[in-house]
Amino acid sequence: MLDLSRTSLTRVTRELLEVGLVREGVVELRATTGRPSEVLEVVASAHHFLGIKLTGDALHAVVTDLAAAVQEQSSAALVAPDVDHVVGQIAALVDDVRGRFPRLTSVGISLAGVVTGERGGEVVHQSPFLGWAGDVPLSQLVAQATGYPVVVENDVSALTALEAWSRVGAGVSSMALVTIGAGLGFGFVIGGRVVRGAHGVAGRLDHVVVVPDGPVCERGHQGCASALLPEGAVVRNAGSAAGDYRAVIEAARAGDGPERRAVEAAGVALGRLIGLIQNTVDPEKVVLTGEGLDTYRVAADVVHAEIDRLVEGGVDSAVLDVQGFDFSEWARAAAGGAIFSLLT
Ligand SMILES: [Zn+2]
């Protein structure tokens, strides 16, 4: 696959062995070649990474090894959402983690918003959840405060890259990722690469109009995806002042009231978005995930009916891949960003 001669491979491998990044595994005898292949394993514990997902009010963190396996995880409320306090809180966390993980190598941070810039010099232009105005050179600020290399990424891009890591390795070269939860996220992998866009804002489908006579979003669009599909929109459209998303989902499962109608309206929006993606990119896989997956679970029939209505010939059931989600995945994806920046 690497197009390297056996001599080069042997030399490179020796170096990797010397620095302790790989170790020798079992020897495999292959009848076809007659020659035993030497199997090398990555020494996952050779490096550790801190991944941080910032939301509007909390900091979710995981420590992973080189294989992105989570070693520990934690969550804490943000002391205050302004840049100085957030950087200070991250620095305190790094200080704490490095005591337990002396092989801590770098820090990855992800957040909702527009992130651009060269690796290690990423600038956050806009983060609606944190209420940051103006450009924030977050990686530089955290690197200065901690002494570690820092990578900052848009959270959906980071999650897309992490998903692509295993799937591209398994032969999938095109993929779309759709996340539903507090917000909506869309990521694309084409030709094995994550599409980030010329201005760092590829995949902004969250305000596409999907139901022309639908409710109005906070930006004033009638019937856009954000007016129907995020958890907050589902709650608002259900009209249940007292209930939260969980309560609306339970009521939608149990009955035929306004909660059910709100969740099914979200299902229509989701089906139309997936149909749009399918018709635009025709990826091998559409991975649907996020903490709001119960919307899909309750309204799956509606979602699939909309997809089938929009996509000529329908969509093969193998294309839509619904992936269970734990919130720590966001932080793990941030750690993934730190790992990739070390490896590529
Ligand atoms: Zn909108």
Distance from Cα 240 to the centre of ligand 1, integer Å: 21
Distance from Cα 254 to the centre of ligand 1, integer Å: 30
Mean predicted confidence (pLDDT) in 175-194? 93
Q: Which long-range contacts (CB under 8 A, 24 or more apart) does 94-99 make?
A: 94/50, 94/146, 94/148, 95/146, 97/50, 97/61, 97/63
Distance from Cα 227 to the centre of ligand 1, integer Å: 6
Percent of the chain with pLDDT over 90: 72
Cα 45 to Cα 174: distance, rounded to the nearest angstrom: 31
Residue 331 pLDDT more than 90? Answer: yes
Distance from Cα 338 to the centre of ligand 1, integer Å: 32
Distance from Cα 218 to the centre of ligand 1, integer Å: 7
**What's the pLDDT score for residue 25?**
82
Q: Is pLDDT larger for residue 307 or for residue 35?
A: 307
Mean predicted confidence (pLDDT) in 112-132? 88
Distance from Cα 223 to the centre of ligand 1, integer Å: 7
Reported pTM: 0.88
Q: How big is the chain by its Cα radius of gyration, in Å? A: 22
In this predicted model, what pLDDT tens digit does every residue of 137-159 receive, in sequence order? Answer: 999 999 999 999 999 999 999 99
In this predicted model, what pLDDT tens digit does every residue of 39-54 receive, in sequence order? Answer: 888 899 999 999 999 9
Distance from Cα 239 to the centre of ligand 1, integer Å: 19
Homologous superfamily (CATH) for 46-158+329-343: ATPase, nucleotide binding domain (3.30.420.40)
**Domain covering 171-325, topology:** Nucleotidyltransferase; domain 5 (3.30.420)
Cα 22 to Cα 140: distance, rounded to the nearest angstrom: 31
Domain positions in the chain: 46-158+329-343, 171-325
Mean predicted confidence (pLDDT) in 111-136? 88
In this predicted model, what pLDDT tens digit does every residue of 207-259 receive, in sequence order? Answer: 999 999 999 999 999 999 999 999 999 999 999 666 899 999 999 999 899 99
**What's the pLDDT score for residue 30?**
61
Distance from Cα 219 to the centre of ligand 1, integer Å: 5
Average pLDDT taken over every residue of the chain: 92
Residue 8 pLDDT more than 70? Answer: yes
| Dihedral, CA of residue 278, residue 283, residue 285 and residue 286, to nearest 10 | -40
> Do 171-325 and 46-158+329-343 fall under one CATH topology?
yes
Distance from Cα 157 to the centre of ligand 1, integer Å: 21
Residue 334 pLDDT more than 80? Answer: yes
Cα 310 to Cα 187: distance, rounded to the nearest angstrom: 21
Distance from Cα 328 to the centre of ligand 1, integer Å: 27
Residue 169 pLDDT more than 80? Answer: no
